[in-house]
Structures are given as structure tokens and as C-alpha cells.
Structure 1
């Protein structure tokens, strides 16, 4: 399964692996040891292969683990390439589909000579951009800002609700939005949370999963078994939500014209 996995800030090392006459590159990130820590392989939706390994793992051991997963990795890289064949660049014109909180809305661009400022509003089933001399470039700019504004409002509201349900959080942690190509979110060792504004296109339950994922890092700073136990305790269905979210990452993380999130 392709994965967008949040992780702590590491400096990745790049290696090449070969299998069946093919080769692929992967980024190696060392994470703090845990008694049940294992070598984990992630294939991101943009085709980047990431390997998380305990700090105590030796390089030959890591390379061997990657080689054992090589067939699995190449299959998912092929799947990503196949999905990208249907990707169409967005034109930023009326009729295109826009996603917000898991629902599809139709982009409606209205040139209004009496309105100098270009505005973006959600009205019924439309995301309506209106103003004087509205070009595709101006449409893209105002829509992107609309998403960022909505993301701040939605994320803050969901963060507050999630903080109230967790025993280890009494106050809202420092947080901000930041566009990322391969992550829905991240949590620094100091406890600062970053959330990708594109996530606001996904259903609310998916947003809650990413927020919970990052808040669990306040307790467990790596992807150890204890970390996953916390996810299981507070969102038993998180694996299903994550699979659906990661499966639509190409749509949500990029400015492409594709079918709606299901």
C-alpha cells in the first residue's frame, strides 16, 4: 500500500537497490530505538521510497530488509506510474471539480466588471470565484488562499476537539500549516505540529486521524508498537481511514483534475 507517513525531521541517506533487472532508489531515515522497533518500508504517493530503521540497525541488515521487500516496492511503484497516466493538469476554469472535506464541488468562474476584488466562496454545490477580469492564474491564487484559510479554521477546531479527548494533552500544542509533498503532517521533537493544508480536501474523519497521529507523537516520538497501540486505543479504525487517505494522495496533494475523493 502506498503510504504518506508522518515522521520526525531526519536527514535521509539515499541508496540504490536492484531486483529482477530493475533498480529503485530509497531514502534511509534512522529513528530512535525501541524494544520492538523494526525496519519499515514506505512507498509515498509521489514514488519516493522511504526506509525507517532503528539507530542500532547495521547497513547490511537494512539493505537485506529492503531487498526482501523489493518485489512489493516495485509493484507499488508500477501502480503509482499507472495512476499518474490519467492525471490531467488543472486548467482553473468553470466546470472543474474541487474537493472540500471529502465532498466534490464544481468550480464556477464569473467575470464581473463591477467587482474589482476577486473573491472565492462556497455557495451550494459550487466553489464560486468572482471578480473583474478573472484569469486562470488569479483563479488559482484565490482558490489556494481559500483552501489555506479553511484549513486553519478546520484544523484548529478539530485539534481542540481531539486535545479534549486525550489524557496526555491539556492545552493546544503549537501548530501551523505548511504545504508538504509527501506528508499529511509532522510533529517536531519539541512538540510543534505541522499540518498540510491540502488535507482539508479530505473527509473530517481523515483529518482527525492525521491530527491524532501527530498528537500521539507527543508521547511516543517514533513509530514504535507503543505508538500504534495509542492509535488503536483512540481510533480503532485508523488503518482503514489511512488506506483510503493514502490511496487518494495524488488527488489531494496536487493541483490535478481527477475524480472526487470517495
Structure 2
């Protein structure tokens, strides 16, 4: 579906909203994908009307994300590139050694990748595996740390790490939390924000007043933290 905001044509995807809420939930993702989550019973016109009412906000979000994406070039996975880990910037150093064990090491100011033969796919693959391993370790520790604040959660929820193109995290109806391994590139405060966001969904699966009240209780500065994470998205998703 699409509509015009001024001279700008904005396209969006309509998806079914599983909750009982009758409201249309609108999301603008870092890759500039616009999604409208609407009840299945909602008419096409009512969904379009709801999205148009948020036209200005959608346009502003798209403009910000487009600016971010324009500033970043696709990774080449060669020495000298900038890569992130826990909010800090590191220089990539690729070492070719035909007899060495292929590995990734985090050093002071750099991420060192050793390969038997230089290949963009090989360096990229080793880095992805390294980020995923670090993500599992980091997310597990942060989940344990923030659970002390989530008093409504009776048991430690199951957690998995899964690469997603447009989301940092999600929470299933049965309480399983899924986190994007790219999130480990963000500052710890941003990681805590995403985990707390998903923990709040265990109590309230919708973005209701109760949900935002819970977020405000466990992380009073969550809005500024979310904005910080959104601004970094273009760098972290690469």
C-alpha cells in the first residue's frame, strides 16, 4: 500500500496484528521499510487513514534513516575498516597466514582476523561467527542483570540469538526472547534497553499505556536510549 506526503510517495506493508487491540501500529525500520500492523478485520481505507495521520512522523523517520544509510558504504572486510563492538569503534586488521589457525581476536583498538587466504567471504564469515558467540555471552549476562528490575517475570525466559533484517529483538506469546546478534555492536545501555523492552512484553504484549508505564519504571531514560540506538542503526546493521 502507499500514500503521498507532499510530493513524496511512501509505500508500506500491511501485516496482521495478533493482539486484540483495534489500533494500527506503525513502524519505520532502519532499512527504510515501513510496516503497518493492523487487525485483520480493519478495512483497507481505515488502515490507510491511520497511516496517513502519521505521515509527517513517517516522513521524518525515513529522512533520518536515508541520511544515515547514505553515509555508510557496504563493508569490504579489509584492513583499515571500522567495526563496532559494545558501542566502541575498532579498526579491522586482516592477517594472511597459510599455516596459522583462522581466528578473530579483540585487541586494544582493533579486531584482528587471521585467515589462511584473504577472501571477503571468509573474513565476513569469521566475523559473523565471532559476533554471534560474543552476542550469546553478552546477552545472557545482561539478561541476568536486568531481570532484577523486571519483578513481574517469575522465571528466566528462554532466549535465542537470530539475525534479523529490521528488528533488534522480539518476544513470542510464550515469553521466548529473540535478540539480533548485531545488537552486540551497540553500547551496553542500548542492549539493556532492548532486553527490558522485550521483558515488558512478557507482561504486556502490546505497546499499550501499561507497557510504556513499565518501561518508564525500569528505565526512565529509555526514550533517549532508543533514539541513540536508532541513530547508530545504519552503522550497526552493516
TM over 0.5, shorter chain = yes
Please state whether the residue corresponding to 2:71 is helix, strand or coil.
Answer: coil
CA distance in 2 between counterparts of 1:120 and 1:81 reads 32
Instruction: Specify every segment of 5 or more residues in structure 2 that has no aligned partner in the other structure, as ranges.
Output: none
2:235 aligns with one of 251, 254, 258: 251
What whole-Å deviation, never above 9, does each CA across 1:62-97 have from its counterpart, x for those lacking one?
Answer: 322222222332343233333332221211111111
What does the per-residue CA deviation read over 1:21-79, in whole Å, with 9 as the maximum and x for residues that have no partner?
A: 44222223425245xx7444322111111223467755433322222222332343233
The worse-fitting range, judged by mean Cα deviation, of 155-164 and 196-205 is 155-164
Give the structure 2 partner of residue 19 of structure 1: 5
Q: How does 1:104-183 map to 2 (within 5 A)?
A: 104-115=89-100, 117-183=101-167
- Alpha-carbon contact 1:33-1:55 (below 8 Å) kept: no
RMSD: 2.0
Preserved CA contact (<8 Å) 2:30 2:65? yes
2:189 alignment partner in structure 1: 205
Secondary structure of the corresponding residue to residue 50 of structure 1: strand
| Structure 1 partner of 2:30 | 45
Q: Does the CA-based 8 Å contact 2:24-2:38 persist in structure 1?
A: yes
Which structure carries more relative contact order (alpha carbon 8 Å, separation 6+)? 1
Q: C-alpha separation between the residues in 1 aligned to 2:29 and 2:113?
A: 33
TM-score, L = length of structure 2 = 0.91
Equivalent position SS for 1:242: helix
SS at match of 1:248: helix
Judged with a 3 Å threshold, the aligned counterparts in structure 2 of structure 1 residues 18 and 213 are, in CA distance, closer, same or farther, namely same
Match of 1:91 among 54, 76, 82: 76
Cα distance in 2, alignment partners of residues 130 and 121 from structure 1: 8
The alpha-carbon distance between structure 1 residues 133 and 19, as it changes in their structure 2 partners (threshold 3 A), is closer
2:19 maps to what in 1? 32
Shift in CA distance, 147/78, structure 1 to aligned 2, threshold 3 Å: same
Task: Identify the structure with the greater helix proportion.
Answer: 2
Q: How many residues align?
A: 237
User: Are the counterparts in 1 of residues 197 and 215 from structure 2 also a CA contact under 8 Å?
Assistant: yes
